[in-house]
Chains A and B, each alone.
Chain A
Amino acid sequence: MEAKDYLKDISEIKNLMNKSSRFISLSGLSGILAGVYALIGAAIAYWLVMNHSYGTLLLDGWVFKTCLLILTLVAFFSITTAIFITTRKANKNNEKIWDGTSRRLILNFLIPLITGGLYILIILAQQKYGQAGALMLIFYGLALVNASKYSIGDIRYLGVIEIILGLICALLPGYGFFLWVLGFGVLHIIYGTIMYIKYDKK
C-alpha cells in the first residue's frame, strides 16, 4: 500500500468516527432565524411595556402574561423552524433524521434545558422573578455545551458565551432585558451566520 492509501485510510477513519457519533445536519440558518424571532419577540415585548405598562412590568397584568406568551411563541417557532430546516438538510446529506446520533443529541440537549425550564417555572411560582433571564441564559448555555459532544463541536463556544452572559445578567439584573436580547437574538444571528458560511455554503 502506498502513502496515499494510508492518508485515505485516516480520512475514512475520521469520517466514520464523526458520522457514527455526531449528528451534523444542523444548519446555521435555523440559528439565524431563531435569533430573528427572539429580536421580534423582544421588540414587541419592549413596545408593550413602554406603551401600556408605564415602563415597568406589573406581574399580574395582561402585559406580563402577553410577554410570557411571546416567549413561548419564540421558543415554539425556533424549534419548529430548526426541525424543518434540519430535516431538509439531513435528507440532502443522506443522513437519517432520527437515528442513534440525533437521539443522543436531543437527549443530552434536553436534560439541562428541561431542568432549567422547570427550575425557572418553580421560582416564578414562588414570586422570585429577578433571576429568570439569567437562568434562561445559563441553562441554555449548559444545554449547548452538553450537546456539543454529539454534534458540530463549535456549538460549545456559543454555549460558553451564553453562560458568561447569564452570569453577567445575574450580577446586573437591571440589564436583564438587553442581555437576553444579546444572548438569544444577536448571538444566534452572528453564530448562525458563521456556521452557515462555514458549513452550508460548501
Chain B
Amino acid sequence: MSIITNINKAFDHRIRLGIMSILMVNEYADFKMLKELLDVTDGNLASHTKALEKDAYISVEKQFIGRKPNTRYATTKLGRAAFKKHIEALEKLIHKQ
C-alpha cells in the first residue's frame, strides 16, 4: 500500500484540517470559537463542518444558552483515529523528501 492512500481526502483542505486540529486538543468548540480561530465566513464554516459530520468525524450538538442557539462540535472516536492516520501520512511524506 502506498503512503499516498493514507492521505485522507476529507482533511485535504485548510479549513477542515483546521477544524480537526482545534477539536483534537479541546473537549469541544462552538461555532463562534471555530469561526474566530479560523477566520472564515459562517457559510464557509458551516459547509465544512457539515462535510466532516457526514463522514462521522465530528459530532454536533445543538442547544440553547439562554435564548441563543449554540452549536457545539466535538471529534468522534473515528475522527480522532482518521486524523492521527492523516498526520502520520503527512509526516512520512515530508520525511521522504
B-binding residues in A (CB < 8 A): 1, 3, 6-7, 9-10, 12-13, 16-17, 19-21, 99-100
Residues B33-63 near A (CB distance < 8 A): 33, 37-38
In the complex, what's the smallest C-beta–C-beta distance from B23 to chain A, in angstroms? Answer: 9
- Other-chain contact of A20, B14, B26, B93, B96 (Cβ < 8 Å): B26
- Please classify the interface of chain A as helix (H, G, I), strand (E, B), loop, or mixed, using the class held by over half of its residues: helix
In the complex, what's the smallest C-beta–C-beta distance from B13 to chain A, in angstroms? Answer: 10
| 8 A/B residue pairs, CB under 8 Å, sorted by A | A6-B93, A12-B18, A12-B21, A13-B17, A16-B38, A20-B21, A20-B22, A20-B29
- Please classify the interface of chain B as helix (H, G, I), strand (E, B), loop, or mixed, using the class held by over half of its residues: helix
In the complex, what's the smallest C-beta–C-beta distance from B45 to chain A, in angstroms? Answer: 14
Inside 8 A of A7's CB, which chain B residues have their CB?
Answer: 94
- Other-chain contact of A17, B12, B25, B93, B97 (Cβ < 8 Å): B25
Q: Are A10 and B24 in contact (CB under 8 A)?
A: no
**How long is the Cα–Cα vector from A56 to B56 in the complex, in angstroms?**
69
Inside 8 A of A17's CB, which chain B residues have their CB?
Answer: 21-22, 24-25
